[in-house]
Amino acid sequence: MATLAREATRATDPFDVSRPELYRDDTWREPFARLRAEAPVHYVPESEFGPYWSVSTYKPIVEVESLPDLYSSEAGGITIANFDEDDPNAVRMPMFIARDRPVHTAQRRTVSPAFTPSEMTRMSADIRHRTAEVLDRLPWGQEFDWVDTVSIELTTGMLAILFDFPWEDRRKLTFWSDWAGDIEIIKNDELRQQRLMHMYECGSYFRRLWNERVNKPLQPDLISMMIHSDAMREMDDNEFIGNLILLIVGGNDTTRNTMSGLAYGLDKYPDQRGKLEADPSLIPNAVSELIRWQTPLAHMRRTATQDTELMGQQIKAGDKLALWYISGNRDESVFGEDADKLIVDRSNARRHLAFGHGIHRCVGARLAELQIGILLEEMAIRRMRVNVAGAPERVSACFVHGYRKLPVEISKY
């Protein structure tokens, strides 16, 4: 622990796990393993995102998420980036993931009906049909980028179905999501301005869809549900945009990067791929395991509302805590010494923290699982194996944990 404290005061703190290159170069495992072993709740005094506490094991992550009044989502937002927190001129786009009770409860209730088991059944035929179309267009025995051709295409299509969004414009959803979800942009004023412009474009596009659907009977798409809800009907423009962006980003980068992780991970562990190919009844469990193994959102952030204690560490009111799901999902005390390995029949894969925990636990979890499951099923029907054909290009950021490019070739098994 003493070593850790001394090293932590250096200019580049080796335990500052917010550094983007750790994710770009895929070198995050080692610092997190040390944090878990030596300092599961660790203070980082200086980082590009200011001081913060790193919470890196399973138990304290669950503890923090179970106490939403003590650890607020609203006080400082949900990512480690908070450059404009003290800027009174900053444009705020409130979204319910970054609200506390009671506003959070009311707004979450509005969108939850879009994700019930019966809605999943209703959407599954459409999702299966779109997935089959995408897979049937793939070139066999020829190199292509899995991220763009499969992961982005499928997740964007799923969002278009969810919003009943004009199909020909669906790539706009990807474009807006990429701008909204990139926390590195926050370090550059010009890019922040550009982002704001794109967010307003997104808002006005959706406002048009809203106007077309207002005063019409309730439909099962998310826009219609928002129109017909007391909690969301009266939102001002910024809150409207904020909540739309939440649903777009929430459903986009996450599912996309699990689908890319699926191709990468099964190739990396051929024994596991063989097991899954031989027994497709393992698919539901493999879906949870792939989400655990990839952990497409590396962290969520909370802000302490009062002085408190966490695993013996004194937390002060106003302190920022980064809850590293990416590390909690590698916690050896929960997932064993082989936590780092993808094991498609891992018995407790469903205990993963990738969807968070508590009142903010991912509202779209079922939809994400449905989509990833359908992708694996449709691959199995076609006896399609994805072989990685070159090094992946990874996202350089500590929030969205994923891939920009993944060259692959497909073959039959």
Q: Which positions lie near ligand HEM, rule CB under 6 A?
A: 65, 96-97, 108, 162, 246-247, 250-251, 254-255, 258, 291, 296-297, 300, 354-358, 360-364, 367-368
Q: How far is the CB of 357 from ligand HEM (least distance, A)?
A: 6
- Nearest 10 degrees: Cα torsion 318, 95, 50, 253: 140
CB-based contacts of 219, cutoff 8 Å, min separation 6: 164, 213
Nearer to ligand HEM, 330 or 357 (CB): 357
Tokens 């035929």 belong to 125
List phi, psi (to 5°) of 302: -130, 160
Q: How far is the CB of 181 from ligand HEM (least distance, A)?
A: 12
Q: How far is the CB of 49 from ligand HEM (least distance, A)?
A: 18
Nearer to ligand HEM, 76 or 356 (CB): 356
Q: How far is the CB of 255 from ligand HEM (least distance, A)?
A: 5
Cα 368 to Cα 64, 115, 159, 196, distances in angstroms: 24, 10, 11, 28
Nearer to ligand HEM, 162 or 232 (CB): 162
Nearer to ligand HEM, 52 or 96 (CB): 96
- CB neighbours of residue 72 within 10 Å: 18
285 in Cβ contact with 318 (< 8 Å): no
What residues does 52 pair with on adjacent strands?
Answer: 44
Nearer to ligand HEM, 224 or 254 (CB): 254
Q: How far is the CB of 104 from ligand HEM (least distance, A)?
A: 6
Nearer to ligand HEM, 13 or 262 (CB): 262
Q: How far is the CB of 281 from ligand HEM (least distance, A)?
A: 21
Q: How far apart are CA 284 and CA 350, in angstroms?
A: 10
Q: How far apart are CA 272 and CA 385, in angstroms?
A: 12
Nearer to ligand HEM, 36 or 352 (CB): 352
Which of 232, 221, 259, 230 lies closest to 403 in space, CA to CA? Answer: 259
Which of 262, 287, 245, 247 lies closest to 147 in space, CA to CA? Answer: 262
Q: What tokens does 149 get?
A: 């051709």
What residues does 386 pair with on adjacent strands?
Answer: 410
Which contacts qualify for 8-16: CB closer than 8 Å, 24 or more apart? 8/42, 8/43, 8/44, 8/45, 9/45, 13/44, 13/45, 13/46, 13/47, 15/39, 15/42, 15/44, 15/54, 16/44, 16/46, 16/47
Nearer to ligand HEM, 241 or 362 (CB): 362
Q: How far is the CB of 364 from ligand HEM (least distance, A)?
A: 2
Q: How far is the CB of 372 from ligand HEM (least distance, A)?
A: 7
Q: How far is the CB of 243 from ligand HEM (least distance, A)?
A: 8
Q: How far is the CB of 251 from ligand HEM (least distance, A)?
A: 3
276 in Cβ contact with 282 (< 8 Å): yes
Nearer to ligand HEM, 146 or 409 (CB): 146
Q: How far apart are CA 24 and CA 16, in angstroms?
A: 15
373 in Cβ contact with 283 (< 8 Å): yes
Q: How far apart are CA 98 and CA 94, in angstroms?
A: 7
Q: How far apart are CA 50 and CA 84, in angstroms?
A: 12
Nearer to ligand HEM, 78 or 409 (CB): 78
